[in-house]
Structure 1
């Protein structure tokens, strides 16, 4: 394995001694320059160009698309906390209107898709906010390129470009104040206003895989490895070998590919065996894909690469939300909150609702809502609202309720709980204490006979 990797890996992956010439490719600010192009001083005039860092192959595309498409699926709402500990959805704010329609040519799904994709491709995403006469943001435009500028007094401005519609509608020649710019950025190791993508952490893995694949492509194109072998026990001259090869290729290549050749004189054809190097290449490419998914913090199951199976879709999404996806959503929410001047968690904030990710797992979603209603967390009306059902008529679904498992037998006479809207009955008055005399110990019959005897005595 080690010897095979040594043949596959290019020399530029090994560390050169100080002062020695190191062959390319070379890492520049905007991408990689190949070794051949780097050997030419005016490489840009010779038809060469940089290979952007974002061109990472199918695995990087899968990771970036997973984030971009998942974020775009989550609808956003403006929330405010109430004094009683609950919260209410704000539907009349500028943010609530933007989260429904950011501008007149994009949906919110289009906007979030491009913003989050640019965030993970380049490490940062930009958008321009346009305000009305009341200083409220009425539209927001995604910008492909952006650069932060810091004034002498520390004020922050931005130079934005990359949106032909916005550039034709608004004057973007002057720097734009930071208060009107949505700037979402990832890790900033070089500058606090310059984010970097996790793609940069996968350069070595992608270079290794690219070198191995390029060598294999050249290996197959040069026909260094035949797909079939012809065997015979007869001794053939060089001319006979040449003629036999020509006849075989004539019957199996080009327009005749797939036809059935007929072998005579003891000739046998067998497919070329798979070597150990092929299995090493497959293992290395698999490890490369796993390393890229690890850098993006995406479970392999989300990308369809196997791994331990989750019990349900909810468990799979919960695992991703606990790592990379949860961070991405929170990071975008906080950037919007900064642009719109929200107070922040828990008082006032934007929330991208991840319940939309459970649309395909209807059974898990219904079971979770049923559990929430039975335990008294949700009222029936609140649970019905989450599946787009109307409220129960008469207001019977507004109050949360719990299971009542131990009740007296008399509860079965009317089979309904007390009405919570009626006032509670007053407590019964306390019975008067009976005086401690001789009459208190007598039975009612003895007491009555004594009264009758006294009345008779008086009458006589």
Structure 2
């Protein structure tokens, strides 16, 4: 069949090609969260873990912060990268596909990478072979294939949004942008950070579920009904049903009358003894550490004591966002085929925006380096007359001029001989004044010149 201008085959990979199963992401291989977990049927469910507040907050924070950044097309001009527009690349950067805005596209890209460890973007080309659209594929419906000679292909399943109507097709790696995260076990299989924090997230969810059941039961923990003598199974079941129906849930807190020497003893450990709040906070901090997000960004822990917004944002960018952003830029440059003179770059100015006082101080210190219009552009101000120039104070001298001065016998003119030496520039000024006076005297004698 023909897909996006390419001849795509539905045939299976060449004999001997090895299929790498990534349909279940990090859950495709049995990996125990602790020793013996598999035998005890204890597993970390990815979809359930995504409901943990710290995992959800970290993923949406990172995806939202990157999605709000604009992707610029840059060109190398006279050794400096400057923003340009190009009909072959700019349209797809402004609107990646027909059903997603730029922000939605990048959110989907990052969420797929963080949740499943892999992002697969399928290219759609026009008649010229230029990429005109990009579609983020479901990682569960993509399988990398490796041939005996090392060539890489991707097996894709039906995806109506990406206009893949065949049950399965195989496309070459040149038609897929594959952004993978934490390739610990295979260079074509990325691992999600959930692989490392899944157990902590599961523990946090269990704590929340237990607390929900605890408070749903009127904050009354479960316990034991103890009889002084032996009772048969029928009476034990009758007493249990009677107690559950009359003194649990909405009926918790009612007065119970016990006879025949029955005694009630609380069984569950109270929240104070179990230190649930500290445990829940610990699980959230573990999740933040695997996503490299400062805990205070998602409301876990206290804010840093120093008041410097830019320093906090730079820390967050360098330890969390920078690697993700640069990985996307590399995928775009190679996937779009921009070459050596063109490239893509995220505009991180909004992310690292300074407070007003600091920003004005930085622009002030930039005088002599930046043009006035360049400074005004940083403040979203229009160019002004005379602003397309670099201004510098007059008392500044070049190093070459200072070197010539220092090379003189008496660079500062402190000796008496230097004082006695006539200054040619001063003589020139005197001659000019005398010539002006003589010209004025001559003009006074001419007719029509007022005396």
Does 2:39 correspond to 1:22? yes
Aligned equivalents of 2:388 and 2:150: distance in 1? Answer: 53
In the alignment, which of 361, 364, 368 is matched to residue 371 of structure 1? 364
Aligned equivalents of 1:136 and 1:125: distance in 2? Answer: 21
Aligned equivalents of 1:88 and 1:77: distance in 2? Answer: 9
Check 1:120–1:364 CA distance in 2 against 1; reply closer, same or farther (3 A cut).
Answer: farther
The CA deviation at 1:68 is 0.6
In the alignment, which of 197, 201, 206 is matched to residue 202 of structure 1? 197
Aligned equivalents of 2:136 and 2:33: distance in 1? Answer: 38
> Match for residue 289 of structure 2?
294
Aligned equivalents of 1:431 and 1:21: distance in 2? Answer: 100
2:74–2:84 Cα contact (<8 Å) kept: yes
In the alignment, which of 181, 188, 192 is matched to residue 183 of structure 2? 188
1:124–1:195 Cα contact (<8 Å) kept: yes
> Match for residue 100 of structure 1?
94
> Match for residue 388 of structure 2?
398
Q: Give SS of 1:88's match.
A: strand
Does 2:47 correspond to 1:52? yes
> Match for residue 449 of structure 2?
none
> Match for residue 305 of structure 1?
300
In the alignment, which of 360, 376, 383 is matched to residue 384 of structure 1? 376
> Match for residue 268 of structure 1?
none
Q: Give SS of 2:115's match.
A: helix
The CA deviation at 1:167 is 2.5
Q: Give SS of 1:384's match.
A: helix
1:373–1:401 Cα contact (<8 Å) kept: no
Q: Give SS of 1:175's match.
A: strand
In the alignment, which of 95, 110, 117 is matched to residue 116 of structure 1? 110
The CA deviation at 1:314 is 1.7
The CA deviation at 1:390 is 2.0
The CA deviation at 1:182 is 1.4
Q: Deviations over 1:94-115 (max 9, x none)?
A: 3322111112222111110111
Aligned equivalents of 2:321 and 2:391: distance in 1? Answer: 34
Q: Deviations over 1:103-129 (max 9, x none)?
A: 222211111011111110111111111
Question: Where do residues 178-327 of structure 1 align in structure 2 (5 Å cutoff)?
Answer: 178-221=173-216, 225=220, 276-278=272-274, 280-307=275-302, 308-327=304-323
Aligned equivalents of 2:273 and 2:324: distance in 1? Answer: 39
Aligned equivalents of 1:372 and 1:162: distance in 2? Answer: 57
Aligned equivalents of 2:314 and 2:51: distance in 1? Answer: 27
Aligned equivalents of 2:119 and 2:58: distance in 1? Answer: 17
Q: Deviations over 1:60-88 (max 9, x none)?
A: 000000111011000011112222x3222
TM-score, normalisation: structure 1: 0.63
Aligned equivalents of 1:348 and 1:313: distance in 2? Answer: 33
> Match for residue 349 of structure 1?
343
Q: Give SS of 2:298's match.
A: coil
Aligned residues: 337
Aligned equivalents of 2:124 and 2:310: distance in 1? Answer: 39
Check 1:226–1:183 CA distance in 2 against 1; reply closer, same or farther (3 A cut).
Answer: closer
> Match for residue 143 of structure 1?
137
Aligned equivalents of 1:204 and 1:86: distance in 2? Answer: 48
Q: Give SS of 1:190's match.
A: coil
Does 2:155 correspond to 1:159? yes
Aligned equivalents of 1:358 and 1:215: distance in 2? Answer: 41
The CA deviation at 1:400 is 2.2
Aligned equivalents of 2:331 and 2:48: distance in 1? Answer: 25
In the alignment, which of 333, 356, 375 is matched to residue 329 of structure 2? 333
Does 2:71 correspond to 1:76? yes
The CA deviation at 1:91 is 0.3
Q: Give SS of 1:356's match.
A: coil
Check 1:14–1:113 CA distance in 2 against 1; reply closer, same or farther (3 A cut).
Answer: closer
Q: Give SS of 1:350's match.
A: strand
RMSD: 4.0
List alignment gaps of at least 5 residues for structure 1: 1-11, 27-31, 33-49, 228-245, 258-272, 408-427, 433-460
Aligned equivalents of 1:90 and 1:115: distance in 2? Answer: 24
Aligned equivalents of 1:275 and 1:338: distance in 2? Answer: 54
Aligned equivalents of 1:274 and 1:73: distance in 2? Answer: 45
Check 1:171–1:276 CA distance in 2 against 1; reply closer, same or farther (3 A cut).
Answer: closer
Q: Give SS of 2:377's match.
A: helix
Check 1:58–1:224 CA distance in 2 against 1; reply closer, same or farther (3 A cut).
Answer: closer
Aligned equivalents of 1:21 and 1:177: distance in 2? Answer: 37
When Rg is computed on C-alpha atoms for both structures, the one with the higher figure is 1
The CA deviation at 1:173 is 3.7
